[in-house]
Amino acid sequence: MSSTKMIVGLGNPGPRYIRNRHNIGFQCLDRFAMRHHLEGGRNQLRATVLDAWITIKGQRHKTLLVKPLTYMNASGEAVGALARFYQIEPDDIIVVHDDLDMESGKIRLRRNGGSGGQNGIRSIIQHLGTPDFHRLKVGIGRPPGRMDPAAYVLQDFTREEEERFSLVRETVCDALDCWLSDGMDVAMNLFNG
């Protein structure tokens, strides 16, 4: 079996969604690629895929960065197909996604679990056939007043939020580095504070 790790960022493809709250997974993956001086990528099995060796603490990690191009609700189609193609076990997959039920700007790593109402995660569980993959949830908070959550997640971050989330994206990258180099237990201990 492959020892490749897969890091998936969830979002919707296309320029109109780039700065949306719902696209925090794509945004974090872009920042992670920049941090490690990775460029390019190719379209494969309905995703943008960038495979690279990432060096952390002197150790090299074979890593696949994946941004599904299926739109959020069908993310599992791409993730499932890529996991099968590269023979990546669910335990070697981490998915970065937004979470409405967490305080805005907080992050939380989880080993597995249900979808929590996140349709991208629901789709991945369905297409992998298991909930036993890792998640890195990024809190975006609840919509104000009676605003429809579907409308809220598809709004861009406000200017004030954007200042805070530039730091959040860096913390997510730190957590991903830790997950790659030290594993999920260490990452959870360090970043679930």
Q: What is the CATH number of the domain that holds 48?
A: 3.40.50.1470
Answer left, alpha or beta for residue 10, where phi above 0 means left and psi between -120 and 50 means alpha: beta
CA dihedral 91→93→96→102, nearest 10 degrees, is -10
Q: Choosing from 22, 97, 127, 134, which is the catalytic residue? A: 22
pLDDT in tens, 112-153: 988 888 899 999 999 999 999 999 999 999 999 999 999 999
Positions of E strands within 90-158: 93-99, 107-110, 134-139
Domain count, the chain: 1
- The rounded distance, in Å, linking the Cα atoms of 105 and 107 is 7
Tell me what pLDDT residue 113 has.
86
Tell me what pLDDT residue 193 has.
73
Whether 22 sits among the annotated catalytic residues: the reply is yes
Domain that holds residue 146: 5-191
pLDDT in tens, 90-104: 999 999 999 999 999
